[in-house]
Amino acid sequence: MSKDLGFNGLLLISLIAVGAPLVARLIPKVKVPSVVLEIVAGIIVGPSVLGWVHVDTPIEVLSLVGLAFLLFLAGIEIDLMALKGEALRVTVLGFGATLAIGFGFGIAFHAANWVRNPFFVAIALAATSLGLVVPVLKDAGAADRPVGRLTIAGATVADFGAVILLSLFFSESEGGTASKLATLAFFVVVIAIVGIVLAKAGRSARLDRVLVSLQDTTAEIRVRIAVALLIGFVALAAKTGLETILGAFIAGALLGTIDRDTMTHPQFRVKLDAVGYGFLIPVFFVTSGVRFDLRALTDHPSALARVPVFLVALLLARGLPAMLLYRRSLGSATPVAALLQATSLPFIVTATQIGVAIDAIEPVTAAALVSAGLLSVVLFPPTALARLRQLQAPELLPDT
């Protein structure tokens, strides 16, 4: 048992996971989210700088599970019941406008030989980091205000759409789009069946008593069920040729839909957050930094110039539709929604890793896109919060 199984690398990653939030909170001048510090620290200890950590099998596995858990928890945050009426209409229109603007940027970047596939750029720019935006709105006490509800609705549509489009058109598995559409339809049927079974099981008084009796013991039965659901959907997605991120995201959305009443288990979501954000998700972010190809940026004279261009593209692709479509509902609070919806990092990290693997983009472009995502997390939420504090009475979203 003396073989080196990668624990030295995992130790460094664990120490970074501990240190990043402490630095973010204890040093007031460092007004940077801990997730950014985790990725930057991963870059420093990775092959690009110090070379202390390399992605071996244990780190790779934990990183993949961390990514799945991140998307799983993002899916849980989705409130499908809120997607109706005016909110659904404007957010769907906004997502369509985002894809159109992103595709326009993709064509320009393709002409400049920055990317190989313009549509990949459109999808990479289309998502919002729901897992980052929701905590920001909750901490500001704005999640239940009109600006928060519409922002979260827009992020929900964007995340769903971006994950599905990435799975259909840029999956690492073989098969055409028609085949993947059929596979997606089969996947939806399985989801519906599992959802019906779980919903009916949840109405069983006897089973409910058993779950309550085991949920706060060492069995932690609800957490085990959630993890089994996550792994099951990820395995199904991989088996059917879809991206595993789709399985993780759908698993979270399904759990969040059928488990809306948490009166008998108020600590369940807290426990899931503890497993995800306390252990697995930091491994993914630090490992993303370890994988980051810093030399691809520094060795190409024009590479660094791409970062602000991609940042502007992200802001316009996600923020401009919000500015145009949300103004009637949000008025002076519209820039808050626009900035928060332009905040994107986990999906960009995931999409660029897939893009490099299938040769849709070059590593230098992937590094520039991830850098733009990092800057969006650093710049956009604080600016949005500053604007939010200036508003004394945000307009109410009309009931539709």
Summarised one tens digit per residue, pLDDT across range 292-312 is 878 777 777 777 888 999 999
Give the dihedral of Cα atoms 54, 58, 61, 67; nearest 10 deg: -60
Tokens representing 238 are 């991989």
pLDDT (mean) for 172-196: 75
In the prediction, which pLDDT does 263 show?
A: 76
Tokens representing 270 are 């807290």
- Label residue 42 exposed, middle or buried (CB < 10 Å: 0-12, 13-18, 19+): buried
Residue with tokens 């992937």, as numbered in its chain: 366
Query: Phi and psi for 302 in degrees, rounded to 5?
Result: -95, 0
What angle, rounded to 10 degrees, do the helices at 281-291 and 7-26 form?
100
In the prediction, which pLDDT does 308 show?
A: 92
In the prediction, which pLDDT does 99 show?
A: 94
Task: Express as a percent the part of the chain with pLDDT over 90.
Answer: 18
pLDDT at residue 262 is higher than 70: yes
Lowest mean pLDDT among 40-44, 76-80, 261-265, 351-355: 76-80
Query: Do 347 and 129 form a contact (C-beta atoms < 8 A)?
Result: yes
> For residues 309 and 109, what is the distance between their CA atoms, to the nearest angstrom?
10
Tokens representing 53 are 């950590």
> For residues 268 and 262, what is the distance between their CA atoms, to the nearest angstrom?
8
In the prediction, which pLDDT does 295 show?
A: 79
> For residues 392 and 146, what is the distance between their CA atoms, to the nearest angstrom?
14
Query: Do 256 and 76 form a contact (C-beta atoms < 8 A)?
Result: yes
DSSP secondary structure letters along 155-180: HHHHHHHHHHHHHHHS-SS---HHHH
Tokens representing 159 are 């995340």
How far is C-alpha 232 from the geometric centre of its chain's CA atoms?
Answer: 20
Of residues 185 and 110, more confidence is placed in 110
In the prediction, which pLDDT does 141 show?
A: 75
If pLDDT is split at 50, 70 and 90, which confidence band does 21 have? confident
pLDDT (mean) for 370-393: 81
Q: For residue 362, give the amino acid letter.
A: E
pLDDT (mean) for 142-156: 81
Of residues 130 and 310, more confidence is placed in 310
Query: Phi and psi for 165 in degrees, rounded to 5?
Result: -65, -40
Query: Do 59 and 10 form a contact (C-beta atoms < 8 A)?
Result: yes
